[in-house]
Amino acid sequence: MEIRDIMTVIIKDIFLPVICVALMCCIAYPICNKTDGFDFFRFWIIVGFPFGIRRMFLWLIPHGYGISGTMGIVGLNCIVGGIIGGFVIMALVIKGAFSLIRIIVCVFKGKTTFGQVVQR
């Protein structure tokens, strides 16, 4: 891997997802922290909402309903989109971990790509 490729992978696969998830966790923590305890389900939905809602409006489109049916479908989209987004967040974190491991292995083995070894 070249330095430019390594920096692209670090920024795109590691830093941006981690920063987005950390920002959403910082926003959602005060909302979900109550005197009774911490509401993990609400935290999962709020943090996962931006990552999963675009997928939900492709499946359940509020069309041909009245105002109450449309609001119900939008609410269902928000809840299910937040749950799906939680799984998307886990996939992004796992992808970032594998990218970090791949970069470390390539740098320590002296490979520019996975198939070529640098001639020294």
For residue 120, is it within any domain? no
> What integer pLDDT is reported at residue 111 of this predicted model?
65
Whether residue 47 is contained in a domain is answered as yes
Task: Determine the pLDDT at residue 107.
Answer: 76
Q: Tens place of pLDDT for every residue, the chain, 120 residues?
A: 567 777 787 888 788 888 988 999 999 999 999 888 999 999 999 999 888 877 776 777 777 888 888 888 888 888 888 999 999 999 988 988 888 888 888 777 776 554 444 444
Return the closest-CA partner of residue 5 out of 92, 97, 99, 95: 99
Number of domains in the chain: 1
Domain contains 91: yes
The pTM score is 0.74
- Asked whether 82 and 52 are in contact (CB, 8 A), the reply is yes
